[in-house]
Amino acid sequence: MSMAAKARTARIGVDVGGTFTDLVLHDPASDLVHVGKLLTTPEDPSAAIIGGIARLLRETGLEPSDLHSVVHGTTLITNTIIERTGAKVGLLATEGFRDTIEIGRETRYDLYDLFLEMPPTLVPRHRRLEIPERIDVDGKVLLALDEDAVASAARQLVEGESCEALAIAFMHSYRSPAHERRAAEIVRRLYPALPLSLSAEVAPEIREYERTSTACANAYVQPLMQRYLDRLEAELGKLGFVGSLYVMLSGGGITTVREAKEYPIRLIESGPAAGAMAASFLARLAGLDRVISFDMGGTTAKMCLVEDGAPDHKFTFEAGRVRRFQKGSGLPLKVSVVDMIEIGAGGGSVAHVDATSGLMKVGPRSAGAVPGPVCYGRGGTQPTVTDADLVLGRLDPAYFLGGELKLDLERVNGAFADGIAAQIDVAPQDAALGVQRIVDETMAAATRMHLAEKGRDPRQYTIIAFGGAGPVHAWNLARLLKVGRVVVPLGAGVASALGFLVAPPATEMVRSYVARLERVDWPHVNALLSEMEQLGRDLLTEAGADPARITCTPTADMRYVGQGFEIPVRLPSLSLSDADLPIIRESFFASYRTHFARLVEDASIEVLSWRVACVAPSTDIRIGVRGSLATAGASAHRGERLVLFEGHGWQTCSVYDRYALTAGATFSGPALIEERESTCVVGPGAQVRVDEMKNLVIELG
């Protein structure tokens, strides 16, 4: 390295939410952690990203050339599918199977609704064309691919229907992708720049409906994601950034821009996954093995179980549900995602009186960043959760975002008086308390259901609360769930962005090969595992991981023969034989017992899919107070403020400066602990201590 060359060590994590864009900068060379938060720019999310990065660099004295990388997550994919604003897509399907994505599973998610609304397909029937070809379940060719039909169909879809992307999904392509790959070669020869999604590459798994649906969804969002990432890279280049841009996957791993452009559907839960990764990191640091991650931002609240320092995962996801909490009412996708619940309960969730019932409701519609809550003074007229928190005394109108955004309490009081209180004949403060009660009960009910489905008892867990609104509502949520402890990290308001920096480079590969356990062709399985291992290692090396530190873990999706659903089972190694059968069976029994608390020991077992998860070590970060945020020597006690608590009336709360609190400090609720990006509310009777990592540990008693 020349004397003029300078090592780039600083990294920035960027979380674009519906209301705020959060940023965290970490530079291990100077032991620097610096955070930022600004309103999201919905018309062009990259504007807030670039503006936030430029601001962080100014405040830290760094140059764009000092940045090693930027790690980004986005809700662009899920929003595109929900709002149906994606590309015009065509589908090439095996002859006789063009209607697979419309027939679905032939089941009804609500048996008794005579007017049941099914999720609309992303590809209408006239843009689904059939191709004569057939491969059987063993991968043998029954009918050769009609190459002329492929070329003709491609021309009809691209030139006749003006399709912007194509999906190719043939029968049993998970077993042999030969026909899909040959069809892709023909299409690319005709239209080299046309985005293509092959089901055998996007989701090489058994189950025709889900695999085809995933390929169509990938094609639907691919042109939009490619344009977005191209524009973001160009804007970063104009800023002077010469490092690497990485993207978070829905499963919590970090990947390259190239993979994000090719398989954007794997990013569908990219943004929410960052919060779960942050909670996992914080749980490991605090030595907590049972945690409920509670991430409440401006638009949604996300809850996830974190056990033994890792979030729960699942390998199926439903997008764009017709009914938000009704399984089966959305588009099924075969992607690896962090297993969480996400509900329309955020600071910007709008409160209104239902015209039919006359009852007050909150969400799921959000005021977002534009126009935002009434108190922002940016054009919002309907009261939101943030407005209610302000009326109840939980927020300081002069210290929101560290004083950058002054909140208009008078305007909010007027909105509650005219918009809610008058309609239900209560005082404005009681209307605000009702908003808080509704949103907290909604989150508590969703969390109870999520834990009950997993057979977990919330009383055995600790809540880690973050997000701009999370610490405001965490104490009351814990009270409703009967959770005894809440942990709020320093910088809680931007903790999701921290998740991008502590998440490891990781990816997961999957291949389907169905066989009874005693009849498995082990040489074939070992070849699949070896192929997946090498692909995973190559991808993580491209993402900047040290090849010598990448670990690969094999698992299998298994079930008893005749069952409809499978469970994940850990495999002993990447090279298997009949000698491993006893270990594999015991691993299956252990997983089955965990899921169902029973066994059927004499039944046959079969494997459906084989997986290899590849991961590199994550970055270790210690959050500290830096620069203008530090208040060394200052008094932690700022003063007092009246806060209205349900069942306790107006209480005088001590107000503390988060940055002046030192490790070992203790005090009792009711109290408010304020930092630039969030406020932590502690109710009456709770005890608070500051641990050695500057976390607020709240014991409810």
Cα separation, 509 vs 471, whole angstroms: 37
Cα separation, 102 vs 120, whole angstroms: 8
Tokens for 276? 């779960």
Given the DSSP bridges, would you call strands 666-668 and 301-307 parallel, antiparallel or unpaired? unpaired
Q: What is the mean pLDDT of residues 197-217?
A: 95
Residue 553, C-beta contacts closer than 8 angstroms, at least 6 positions apart: 570, 612, 613, 614, 615
pLDDT value of residue 109: 85
Query: Helix, strand, coil shares of the chain as percentages rounded to 5?
Result: 35, 25, 35
Contact between 196 and 187 (Cβ < 8 Å): yes
pLDDT tens per residue, range 219-246:
999 999 999 999 999 999 999 999 999 9
Q: In the sheet that 254-256 helps form, which strands lie side by side, from edge to edge? A: 32-39, 20-27, 10-16, 67-73, 244-248, 254-256
Contact between 379 and 500 (Cβ < 8 Å): no
CATH number of 506-615: 3.30.1490
Q: How many CB atoms lie within 10 A of CB 361?
A: 16
3-state secondary structure 334-368: CCCEECEEEECCCCCEEEEECCCCCCEEEEEEECC
pLDDT of 47 higher than 60:
yes
pLDDT value of residue 623: 60
Cα separation, 245 vs 233, whole angstroms: 7
pLDDT value of residue 2: 39
Average pLDDT for the chain: 91
Contact between 682 and 698 (Cβ < 8 Å): yes
pLDDT value of residue 599: 87
pLDDT value of residue 112: 87
pLDDT tens per residue, range 78-127:
888 888 889 999 999 999 999 999 998 878 888 888 888 888 899 999 99
Q: What is the DSSP letter of 660?
A: G
Element (H, E) at 24: strand 20-27
Q: How many CB atoms lie within 10 A of CB 597?
A: 8
pLDDT of 143 higher than 90:
yes
pLDDT tens per residue, range 497-522:
999 999 888 899 999 999 999 999 99
pLDDT value of residue 284: 92
Domain spans in the chain, listed from the N-terminal domain onward: 10-80+227-267, 82-224, 506-615, 627-699
The half-sphere exposure of 99 on its side-chain side, counting CA atoms within 13 A, is: 3
Cα separation, 636 vs 111, whole angstroms: 58
Strand partners of residue 27: 32
pLDDT of 129 higher than 70:
yes
pLDDT of 631 higher than 50:
no
Q: DSSP letters along 197-254, please? A: EEHHHH--SS-HHHHHHHHHHHHHHHHHHHHHHHHHHHHHHHHT--SEEEEE-TTS-E
Contact between 451 and 458 (Cβ < 8 Å): yes
Helices (H), 22-89: 45-60, 76-83
- Closest-CA residue to 499 (of 466, 535, 548): 466
Percentage of residues in the chain having pLDDT higher than 70: 97
Cis peptide before 471 (omega within 30 of 0): no
Contact between 331 and 217 (Cβ < 8 Å): yes
pLDDT of 5 higher than 60:
no
pLDDT value of residue 327: 82
pLDDT value of residue 6: 57
Q: Does the structural domain 10-80+227-267 have CATH classification 3.40.190.10?
A: no
464 three-state secondary structure: strand
Prediction pTM value = 0.89
Cα separation, 225 vs 262, whole angstroms: 9
pLDDT of 420 higher than 80:
yes
382 three-state secondary structure: coil
- Ramachandran sector of residue 553 (left: φ over 0; alpha: ψ -120 to 50; beta: rest): beta
